[in-house]
Every structure is written in structure tokens, then in C-alpha cells.
Structure 1
Amino acid sequence: MGGPSALVWQQVLALDARYNAYRTPHNVQFRTQYIRRRSQLLREYAKNTEPTIRKQYLKIRSQLLSQRYGPISEASSVRSSSIRGSVSHLERMESAIEEKNDCVKKFPNTLPVPTNRADASRAMAGGKSVSENYAFAGMHHIFDDHIGHAATAVKFANDEKNLLAYSSMDGNICICEICPEPKITATLSGHTDGVTDFAWSLSNDLIVSVSSDATLRLWQTNSGKCMRNIASSLVGMAQCAIHCCLFQPVNNNMVVLGNTAGQITVVNISTGKTRKGANAKLSGAVLSMAFDSSGKVLWAGDDKGIIHSFTFDLATGQLRKGHQMVIQAGSSLSSIQSRSWISREARDPSVLVNVAADTLRLFRVTDDRGMLLHKRSFPVKHNKHLIRSVFCPLMSFRQGACVVTASEDMSVCFFDIERASKPCVNRLQGHSAVVIDVSFNCDESMLASCDTEGVLIIWKREQ
């Protein structure tokens, strides 16, 4: 099953997988067999079904599953569709996450990666090795519209193959399409200083961005219109650079900000305000943040080498202190990425951290307040810039698991986190400046990387 005609059937299978935890919750084997049989049937019928019928089937099945397992929760929002998409996704995942946590308690030494026992998952991925799956070599396209100004972040839209955006110190964000012909579809202009970070809403209709100009902006992605401009002072933050921002994964009406003054604030983007208790203070500049899959734990890393964890009140947005963990005293923590493994063979939530001490580190989450236990370290050239890394999106279905990081040696590094020795399985060399950020599309067919000269390279995986 291949080509554009297969996309809807892949979405149907993904929909079934989201609801799978609700089917015979005490019979894991049946749920696994169900998904495998669904995959087989979808592949067989995809060849002889009209595209319009496939789309209608997806719509009807989504409605039936919602009726069978409960209605989608409602919440107020600037764009209610964003909220509904977020709540729906997280509610369906929550029971699976609880199941994973139960397994962690029973088997505390389980590796935070898919293991060699993952026969069914490997079959779904084609049974290829990590090196084969991540043999990126050819350049699909190069965007140089920010040339002369350092790129700061690149991110594919959620569950999208061909839509991404990247930001720059020129104060703009470019939204790009890759196929059928690479092009910039919109430029988000309005910040008066460099854009330091941005985030897509779960339904991709909104982008939130922050800047060295001490403001947050909310953008409509289809029109490029700025819907809201919020100054730091209006939400009780110091008038200084904001380094990172996140949509709350359960409620996209809330956005979390972190700035140079060490302040973290939760902002309601409908009202442009914050509330008492929806803030925190770190000892250093907040450079990176990440939520866990449930949206109940927030990690924040600073320029002192410390990660602070907080529990997040989903109803009020209030933050409560969890743990304070010294990762590398005096070294900036430029990126934090969180991942809950969607695999019955490996159920540990994991956190990936870029440390400006020439290391990329992997941690296992050990409690519901975000305590981290160190598992692996990987050598990466990194001591000055705010470089970022990413988990590979399909790693739960691979033999082994891979993470990818930017690097100051102008390369993109792939690490197999199961390999005991020589974990680097690929290194992409094509940039002529420090690589700042990397991002996968949803099916891992494309990888994007950007650098300090403002160049964005789209890499295509070898077939």
C-alpha cells in the first residue's frame, strides 16, 4: 500500500490505535491481534476503493468510535477546534499511559526503548535495521530565505508529511510545503527582534511564537494573520528575551513561556492574561521546556545546568514544584524532549536533553512528579549554541530506537540508543555552519535541519 491513496487508510489505522486501549482493557494480546488484522484488511481493500469513499469511511468511523467510547471533551479556546483535537488525543492516550506506568512499577529495570522482543512492532516497520531505516543521504530541497540571519528552530506540523515552519533571528517565521513542489506558503512577520522559538497547535491551525523582543504572538497558519500580540509585562514577566514556548498538550488555550530572567508563566491566549499560581521562578535563564504526554508534568532547563520539574493543574494552569535535578553544573540545557513509548515491549517515559558540555543525554522518568534517572550519554560537539534534538517518531515500531541531534561540527547525528558501542549510525554533512535544530515529518520520510547561516535543508530518506 503506497502513494497518496494510502494516506487515509493510514489515518484510519492510527484512529483505531488511539482507541485500542479501550478494547478489552485486560486482554493485551487481543488488542494487538485486532490492530494487526485491521492493518491487513485496510491494505487489501485500499487497492479497490475510491478516495472519496475512503474519506467518508474515516469520518464515519471516527464518529462511531467517539460515540462508543465517550464524547470528545469541550473546552473554551481562541479556536475551539484546536482544543477539541488536543483533548481528544490526550484522553485516548491517557489510559495507555497509565498501563505503561503500571508496568514500570512491576519491571523497574525495563530499558526505555523497544527491545529485541518487539517482533510484532518490527514486522509493522518492515523488519529493517536502525542503520537501514535512517539512511538519509540525499538533499530534497534547500530553503535559503533567511540567509544571513541565524535560523533558531524548525518543526514539522503535527502528523504532517509535507508541512513545516522555521524561524530566524530576522524576526520572521516561514511556513513551507515540501511536496509536490517545495515553496513558502506564508511568512509570519511582526516581531521586532529575532524569533527564538515557536510551536504548532495540535490541529496545526495556530502557531505561537516568542522573541527576543519580549513578546508572544499567536498566528493563524492558513492566513498568516497575527491574532494576538502579548507583551511580557502584561503577564507579569520581566521585559527581556523569551527563549521557549509550549502549547499545553491537553488544552491548547494555555501556553507556557520561559524567559532570560528565569520566569515561567502560563498564559491564557483567549484572554491574554495569567492567573495566580500559574508561574514559577528558576535560578537561571529558562532555555528549554517540555511536557509529558499527559500534560501533567512540565520540565524546564536553565543555563545553570539544572532541570526543574513541575506538576501542572489542568483545570487552573497552576504549577507546583516537583524536583530539582542538577544535570551538569554550569552548562546550559538548550533542549528538552519528552517521549512516552507507544509500545507494549517498552513502556518507560523518556526525556532527551542537550547539554552544552559536548553531550546528549537520555533519562528515564521514574515518578509522577518528573524525577529523571540517567540512562545513556552520547558525544556531540556542543558548548556554545542553543542546539536541539528530537526523538524519531516511529521508533516504537523499529528494531532499536534512534534519536537525532544538531551539532556544532556542522553535522546532523543519528544515535541508536540501544547500541552499547559505536551508537552513531549516521551523520549528515551538508551544512556550512553550526546546525541548530532538527525535525522529522510524521512518517520519517523527510528530515529538516537548519543552521546559523539561515539555511534549511530537507533530507530525503533512501528507499
Structure 2
Amino acid sequence: MANWQQVFALDAKYNAYRAPNNPQFRTLYIKRRSQLLRESASNPEKDSSARKDYLQLRARLLSAKYGSPAFSDQGSIKSRSFSFGGRSISKSTLESMDPKLGDTRKFHRRQRSSGSAKFNLDGPMKRIYDSIELVPTKEAEASRAMAGGMTVSENYAFAGMHHIFDQHTDADFAWSLSNDIILSVSFDGTARLWKVASGECIRTIRDITGAELHSCLFHPLNNNMFVTGNSKCFVQVINVSTGKGYKGGSCKITGQALSLAFDPTGATLWVGDDKGSLSSFNVDLAHGKLIRTRRVLVCEGHSITSISARAWVSREAREPSLLVNCAINSLCLFRICPDGSLQLKKRFSIRQKHAHVRSTFCPLMSFRQGACVISGSEDMCVYFFDIGKDKKACVNKLLGHSAPVLDVCFNCDESLLASCDAQGLVIIWKREGKQGVL
């Protein structure tokens, strides 16, 4: 059943790209797809390994046909064209560059591990996937050219405000994978599901303990599952369709659950609390169970207000990473070790002692040397840090707020940045660079 849920989540992810001028068809397709997958999942004769093979193959075919919605943590392609020196590179142009991309003197190849499944990809499709796996050295001219030949500092040189609005109110919310539902939680102890198209509240779910809810998050592979964290130290996995918690899907941690993050596979859930601890859980996707694996004390007595996980942040930094805001006037970057423990890699100086400040990885995979993270701060600034620099890591600082900046968020192509502050002001920043205003 878990594999078919992942297949449905994958189809939902790409559904916006099907028949863009016919939304009725997209709705009908996803309903019929859900019905067929449920029927297939109930067939005991299906072999589980065949289902896994099918999931991997379908992901490749969808990516080849539509392109990925964004540069993912696994290095997928946002579309079938790239920016190269200010111009667009089509798939055929990329193929013509293949001999240069395959130069073993400048690149190393990483063997893709695909479990028991083996695929024989030929022609253009194989060339595209081979190019995804390239890891540049310091002389990686081709990869830097794909990024427009810009340095990290130039790429994040935001200048000017695109829009300002002040109708924002305190809330914690998350988008569903299919972009048609918003999940919100609040201090009144309820989680609410909202239909984006109409603004209608389609379900209200009360916390089982009646506590204030601080955080919420959809599962990255299963649109029908989300997690909440409350002030009574409980984390709860909830089924969207039924509005009920999963059996075995509730766990208690050491403090109030202020922040949540899944790893990109959805197999691990990280929870940050107000006591300074990070707790990790294995997630049983089929049954919604949480299995406690590890607790790491990051900063005793200081709240962990934000967690962001990435499988790898650039082509030269391919190890899993965790970005953590904790109220000790610093932003912490951890390496996730194979055994699940954390190793501190970098600290970046920001102002945070009391406010619930959040941070994030910049969403696009970096083709350059280095990669950026971004954070709010109590000193009313937005900070960009290059994690590849040991000194002078701050590559940009945005001024414009008159209160502590609590949260920051990019759109998918990094052309616009949103930041919000403690007074309810939201600023949309636009990026300028060699390629013009985006």
C-alpha cells in the first residue's frame, strides 16, 4: 500500500503539468488514478519489488516528459532547458555538450544506486540522467556556465522590493504536495484544511489533548498524511481523509514541539522543542507509525524554532544536512551522519534570543562552488550565508523591516523572496543580476 501511495503522490506532483489549459481533465485524471491505485493495492498477488521498480521507472518517465517542478534535493531538473551564459539550452543542446560534460579530467561520476531495479536507458534520456550525476571539481566551467557564470554573491544580490503588504496575522501553515490544500494550525488547538480554489475550510481537526498547536507539516510523499506538534510535548500523525490520528502515530518529546522537518524521502521526521533538543523518528508510511530513533541536545534550555533538511545542498556538498535555528544568536548547520547522529559543521552569526526565527536552504541546487542558506533575525535583517566559506560567509543582507524578521521563503526559481516580521509586515523582494530583473 505504501508504494502505491507514493505513486499517487508522484502523479499529484506532476498533475499541474498535464493539460495546462484543461483543469477539468487534471481533476478527473487524479481521481481516476487514485481509484486505480487503491484497487491495485488491494491485490495480494502483486509483488512488492515489482511495485518499487514501477515507482522508480514512473518517476523517470514523468521527469523526462515534463521536467521536474524544481531542482530537487536529488538533483532533478526543473525543466528540459537550462540557463547557459544568459541564453536557454534545450535538451538537444545539452546532448551536444555531452562529450565536454563527460570529460573525466574535470568531473567525477557517482554511481546511482537503485536497489534491485535495473533500467537500460538509451539515447537522449540516458544522456540527461548521466549529466545529472556529474559532480564538478574546482575547474567545473560547464556547470558554472549552466548557472549563468555568476558567483554565489552575484546570484543572491537582491535589490528592490517587489511588493509590501501588512495584512499578515500569526499562523503556521503548510501547502499540500498537490498545491490544492493548505493546512493551518493555531493556539486554539485546531488544525484546519483549506481548499485553495474556493477558500473553503473543508475539515477542522481538534488536537487530541486539547493543547495549543505550534507546528504542522505535510508528508513529502503522501498527500493524505500530515504531522502536528503541540504545547504538551506531543507529535501526532493524522490522516487527511478521516481526520483521525494513526494508531501508533503519537509520541511525546522532551518539550513543546515548535518545529518539524522531514528528510526528502519522508522516512525520517525531525522535531525541535523549547528545551533545545532535536528528536528524530522513523516514519512508517504504510501505517503512519512513529518509531523513536534518537534525541540530540543542541542547546540546552534554548528553543529550536526552525528545522530544514536537505539531502545535499550543492554538487560539491553531497552529504545530508540539517539547518537549525536555536535561540543562541546563531544559525547552525549540521551534517547528518549515517547512524542518524548530528555533527556540527558551521555556525552563522544572527540575532536570536527570544523570537521564533526561521531559516531555509535556498531551493535550487547549486551548480557553482558553494551554496546558500537564508535566515531571519531579531536585528530586523534578512541574512544570506554561503556555507562553503569559512570566513565572511555573509554574502548579502537585506534591510527594510522595522521589527524582528521571523520567517523567509523563496519561490521555486529563486526570483522572488518573501520575508515577514513580528509586526505583521510581509515584503516581497525581487532579484537583480547579470540576467536582468527576474
Normalising by structure 2, report the TM-score: 0.70
Q: How much has 1:15 moved relative to structure 2? A: 7.1
**Which residue number corresponds to residue 376 of structure 2?**
406
Cα deviation 1:336-365 (Å, max 9, x = unaligned): 001122755432111100010101000111
> Match for 2:230 among 250, 255, 259?
259
Aligned AA (2:338): D
Aligned to 2:152: 130
Are the equivalent residues in 1 in contact too, given 2:302–2:328 (CA < 8 A)? yes
Q: 2:166 aligns with which of 111, 119, 144?
A: 144
Q: Extract unaligned runs of 5+ from structure 2.
A: 1-19, 21-62, 95-117, 120-128, 434-438
Q: Distance in 2 between matches of 1:139 and 1:21?
A: 30
Counterpart position of 1:217: 192
Task: Say if 2:410 is the partner of 1:388.
Answer: no
What amino acid does structure 2 have at the position aligned with 1:290?
A
* 2-structure distance, mates of 1:21, 1:121: 13
Query: Is contact 1:341-1:396 (8 Å) kept?
Result: no
Unmatched runs of 5 consecutive residues or more in structure 1: 1-7, 23-30, 46-67, 70-94, 104-112, 147-167, 170-194
Match of 1:41 in 2: 90
User: Is the 8 Å Cα contact of residues 116 and 400 (structure 1) preserved in structure 2?
Assistant: no
User: What is the identity, as a one-letter code, of the residue corresponding to 1:297?
Assistant: T
Cα deviation 1:258-299 (Å, max 9, x = unaligned): 011110000001001113211110111011010001000000
For residues 7-18 of structure 1, the aligned pairs below 5 Å read 12-14=66-68
Could you tell me whether the CA contact under 8 Å between 2:323 and 2:333 is conserved in 1? yes
Displacement after TM superposition at 1:202 (Å): 1.2
Q: Contact 1:114/1:400 (CA < 8 Å) preserved in 2?
A: no
Match of 1:361, SS state, is: strand
Q: How far apart are 1:17 and its partner, in Å?
A: 8.3
| Partners of 1:128 and 1:399 within 8 A in 2 | no
Deviations 1:21-51 (A, max 9, x none): 99xxxxxxxx9xx988997335879xxxxxx
Secondary structure at the aligned position of 2:89 is classed as: helix
Quote the residue 1:455 is aligned against.
425
Match 2:290 to one of 291, 303, 319? 319
Structure 2 CA distance for partners of 1:15 and 1:342, relative to 1, 3 Å: farther
Comparing 266-275 and 338-347, the one that deviates more: 338-347
Give the match's secondary structure for 1:316. Answer: coil
Structure with more contact order per residue of length (Cα contacts < 8 Å, sep ≥ 6): 1
Match of 1:376 in 2: 346
Q: Which residue of 2 aligns with 1:158?
A: none
| CA deviations over 1:60-85 (Å, ceiling 9, x no partner) | xxxxxxxx98xxxxxxxxxxxxxxxx
1:437 is aligned with what amino acid? D
Q: Which residue of 2 aligns with 1:78?
A: none
Distance 1:429 1:344, change over 3 A: closer
Q: CA deviation at 1:373?
A: 1.3
Measure how far apart 1:117 and its partner are: 5.5
The aligned residue for residue 329 of structure 1 is 300
AA aligned to 2:176 is: S
Structure 1: distance between partners of 2:311 and 2:165: 32
1:413-428 to structure 2, matched below 5 A, reads 413-428=383-398
Matched, 1:271 2:320: no
Deviations 1:408-458 (A, max 9, x none): 000001101111101111110100111110001111111100011111000
- Residues 201-239 of structure 1 show CA distances to partners (whole Å, capped at 9, x for unaligned) of 112111111001100000111111111001113xxxx21
Q: What's 1:435 paired with?
A: 405
CA contact (8 A) 1:293 1:339 kept: yes
1:25 maps to none
Q: Which residue, out of 212, 219, 232, partners 1:241?
A: 212
TM-score scaled to structure 1, two decimals?
0.66
CA distance in structure 2 between the partners assigned to 1:216 and 1:43 by the alignment = 48
What is the identity, as a one-letter code, of the residue corresponding to 2:285?
Answer: L
Shift of 1:114: 8.1
**Residues 77-121 of structure 1, C-alpha deviations (whole Å, 9 max, x = no match):** xxxxxxxxxxxxxxxxxx99xx99xx9xxxxxxxxx987355443
Specify the alignment match of 1:28 in structure 2.
none
Cα distance between partner residues in 2 of 1:456 and 1:329: 32
In the aligned structure 1, how far is the partner of 2:64 from the partner of 2:393?
31
Identity of aligned residues (%): 52
- Contact 1:127 / 1:399 at 8 angstroms: preserved in 2? no
**Distance change >3 Å, CA 118–CA 288, structure 1 → 2:** farther
Give the distance between the partners of 1:271 and 1:380, measured in 2 at CA: 42
Q: 2:334 aligns with which of 359, 363, 366?
A: 363
Q: 1:373 to 1:11 in 2, by over 3 A?
A: farther
Please name the residue that 1:349 is paired with. Answer: 320
Conservation of the 8 A alpha-carbon contact between 1:115 and 1:346: no
* 2: CA distance, partners of 1:140 / 1:16: 22
Tell me the secondary structure at the aligned position of residue 277 of structure 1.
strand
Cα distance change on mapping 1:10 and 1:447 into 2, 3 Å? farther
Which secondary structure does the structure 2 equivalent of 1:310 belong to? strand
Distance 1:335 1:37, change over 3 A: closer
Q: Secondary structure at the match of 1:14?
A: coil
